């Protein structure tokens, strides 16, 4: 490692990543996330139908040290985007009426609870314990949480194979909503999260080898349409940053 590499700062990386991303977007199709207006419907479900669950989730998060970037804002973000994806998937499959409402509601709940125990790290523990916590929180407000708990237990497993349509759509919508960020975060939040973890900037610029595995793992029709583009975007930013600072 050269002296110059050791002197890399996260501020330099951030500026370079943002600058490259702006130019990349000019010549490549990087679909925008659903807008706040599009997501308002699913936020309303959270804050009205499931307001008690929201309060219990916030209480749990206040009792633990949330992993960087995985506090309530992340849970709400995934919940609302997953709800949007689930409804899009229902459109694609022609699912209507009560079945449609059930799928959307279960998806919003699963998204809200998927990383409830992220403070335990990024491995199996946070999913196993998260499923138990999800069941406990939902039971406290009189909701059966079997589908939600199954999704929480498996939400990072790209090879999980649901056994029925309800679980398939709920899991797929949460998985896709949660993992789009693996590409998009290279423009902004990834670098700051790594900095907060105390990592060396000169090491972080090489941390992208896992990204190609996510190009073709998407579960929903919407995810298959936009997911590869998000990962390709993230890879392009990551490789540019590595090339720029590996001199």
Mean pLDDT in consecutive groups of 10 residues from the start of the chain, 247 residues: 64 96 96 94 97 96 72 94 98 97 98 89 86 96 94 95 95 97 92 90 94 96 98 97 91
Q: Domain residues of the chain, as ranges?
A: 3-32+182-245, 36-179
Q: What is the pLDDT of residue 77?
A: 95
Q: Which residue has the tokens 């309303």?
A: 44
Please give the CATH superfamily to which domain 36-179 belongs.
Hypothetical protein af1432 (1.10.3210.10)
Phi-psi region of 121 (alpha: psi -120 to 50; beta: other; left: phi over 0): left
Buried b (16+ CB within 10 A) or exposed e, 61-94: beeeebbebbbbebbbbbbbbbbbbbbbbbeebe
This prediction has a pTM of 0.92
């Amino acid at each position: 490692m050269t002296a110059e590499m050791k002197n890399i700062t996260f501020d330099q990386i951030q500026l370079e990543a943002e600058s490259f991303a702006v130019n990349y977007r000019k010549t490549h199709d990087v679909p925008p996330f659903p807008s706040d207006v599009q997501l308002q419907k699913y936020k309303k479900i959270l804050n009205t139908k499931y307001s008690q669950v929201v309060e219990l989730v916030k209480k749990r998060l206040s009792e633990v040290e949330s992993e960087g970037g995985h506090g309530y804002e992340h849970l709400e973000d995934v919940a609302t985007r997953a709800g949007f994806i689930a409804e899009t998937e229902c459109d694609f499959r022609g699912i209507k009426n009560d079945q449609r409402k059930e799928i959307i509601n279960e998806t919003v709940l699963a998204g809200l609870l998927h990383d409830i125990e992220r403070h335990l790290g990024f491995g199996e523990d946070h999913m196993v314990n998260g499923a138990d916590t999800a069941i406990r929180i939902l039971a406290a407000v009189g909701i059966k949480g079997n589908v939600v708990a199954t999704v929480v237990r498996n939400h990072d497993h790209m090879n999980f194979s649901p056994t029925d349509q309800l679980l398939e759509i709920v899991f797929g919508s949460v998985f896709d909503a949660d993992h789009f960020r693996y590409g998009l975060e290279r423009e902004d939040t990834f670098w700051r999260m790594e900095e907060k973890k105390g990592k060396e900037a000169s090491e972080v610029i090489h941390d992208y080898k896992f990204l190609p595995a996510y190009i073709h793992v998407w579960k929903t029709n919407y995810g298959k349409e936009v997911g590869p583009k998000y990962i390709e975007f993230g890879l392009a930013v990551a490789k540019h940053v590595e090339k720029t600072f590996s001199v």
